[in-house]
Amino acid sequence: MTESKVSSESSAVHVDRLSFRYPGGPAVLSDISFTIAPSEIIGLVGPSGAGKSTLLQHLNGLLPSKLPESVGQVENLPHVCIDNLPVSRQTIAEVRRRVGFLFQDPDDQLFCPTVFEDVAFGPLNLGLSDIEARQRVRDSLASVGLAGYEPRSTLRLSLGERKRVCLAGVFACQPSVLALDEPFSSLDPRACRTLIGILKKFSGSQIIATHDLDVVVDLCHRVLLLDAGQLRAAGPTADILGNAALMERHGLEVPWRLR
Ligand code: ADP
């Protein structure tokens, strides 16, 4: 299925006919097209193995072996655009600055001994001065409810805290798009509610891959349903997640809040 109704002109994310297979493997994404408007929050749902993580990784070029060399090559090829900037080897640094990516497992994201060093890494890498980076760290830790955590060891935090430190690191780079892979998995209800509150305050666009469909009802304006690498349905959250036949066909259940 192709979702072609939304104009790409004002889109924060525009994915056009994207297909992908890992080397030597079967097709994992087949002819995927969709757009995300500025400030829109999208829930990316589907059974395990549907291709959700693989799709998210294309939004900031985490699968670089498949990137076109230059913007010029992109025109008639399937492609991904962020803020109208086609993702290619030429644009990858700028694309990564604009798209904040949250890995499912904080251990894939955190790699510095202290919270300060981890959150400061992105801003310093962007060329900000020490003073500016310090301010970004302070602001982004405060925005995720972890003010004063700078000297803490990243190894001695709860899972919810580690996820929030990852998010602070993402926010510190001031992205315009968030691509979040299972941000709520393994969080207790309070940590989950805290994270939902943080995401609701973010002013840019978001695409959130998750199995937590009640959270999707709470948070997301629209849903993309992926199964076996194909976009099977797209539309307003209640229309998609409230469609019992559609949900059952793709191994999902109507969330409690829509029953
Ligand atoms: P989801 O996030 O919906 O669970 P994934 O994108 O993780 O789906 O996986 C989609 C398919 O791609 C699965 O069949 C998975 O086994 C395969 N896959 C994921 N990552 C790799 C990889 N690095 N190499 C080869 N196959 C992979």
> Model confidence at 101, in pLDDT bands (50, 70, 90)?
very high
- Is the model's pLDDT at 83 over the cut of 60? yes
- Is the model's pLDDT at 78 over the cut of 70? no
pLDDT digits (tens, 9 = 90+) for 220-245: 999 999 999 999 999 999 999 999 99
- Which residue has its alpha carbon closest to ligand 1 atom 27? 22
- Is the model's pLDDT at 191 over the cut of 70? yes
Which pLDDT score is estimated for 141? 95
pTM of the model: 0.92
Q: What is the CATH number of domain 13-253?
A: 3.40.50.300
**How close is the Cα of 68 to the center of ligand 1, in Å?**
22
Ligand 1 pocket member 43 (CB < 6 A): no
Ligand 1 pocket member 27 (CB < 6 A): no
pLDDT digits (tens, 9 = 90+) for 7-39: 455 789 999 999 888 988 999 999 999 999 999
Classify 9 as helix, strand or coil.
coil
- Is the model's pLDDT at 75 over the cut of 80? no
Alpha carbon 239 to chain centroid distance? 22
Q: Which amino acid, residue 105?
A: D
Distance CA 258, CA 244 (A): 10
> Model confidence at 74, in pLDDT bands (50, 70, 90)?
low
How many residues in total does the chain contain? 259
Ligand 1 pocket member 53 (CB < 6 A): yes
Ligand 1 pocket test, pick from 18, 19, 20, 28 with the greatest ligand atom count within 8 Å of Cβ, gives 28
**How close is the Cα of 146 to the center of ligand 1, in Å?**
33
**How close is the Cα of 29 to the center of ligand 1, in Å?**
10
For 46-97, the DSSP string reads -STTSSHHHHHHHHTTSSGGG--SSHHHHTTS-EEEETTEE-STTTHHHHHH
Ligand 1 pocket test, pick from 21, 54, 210, 224 with the greatest ligand atom count within 8 Å of Cβ, gives 54
Q: Which atom of ligand 1 is nearest to the CA of 22?
A: 25
Ligand 1 pocket member 50 (CB < 6 A): yes
- Is the model's pLDDT at 1 over the cut of 60? no
15's CB contacts (< 8 A; 6+ apart) are 32, 33, 34, 35, 55, 58, 59, 79, 80, 81
66's CB contacts (< 8 A; 6+ apart) are 20, 58
Ligand 1 pocket test, pick from 20, 53, 63, 181 with the greatest ligand atom count within 8 Å of Cβ, gives 53
- Which residue has its alpha carbon closest to ligand 1 atom 25? 22
- Is the model's pLDDT at 117 over the cut of 80? yes
Which pLDDT score is estimated for 4? 43
Distance CA 109, CA 213 (A): 25
Distance CA 203, CA 171 (A): 11
pLDDT digits (tens, 9 = 90+) for 206-224: 999 999 999 999 999 999 9
> Model confidence at 77, in pLDDT bands (50, 70, 90)?
low
Which pLDDT score is estimated for 10? 72
pLDDT digits (tens, 9 = 90+) for 38-73: 999 999 999 999 999 999 999 988 875 556 666 555
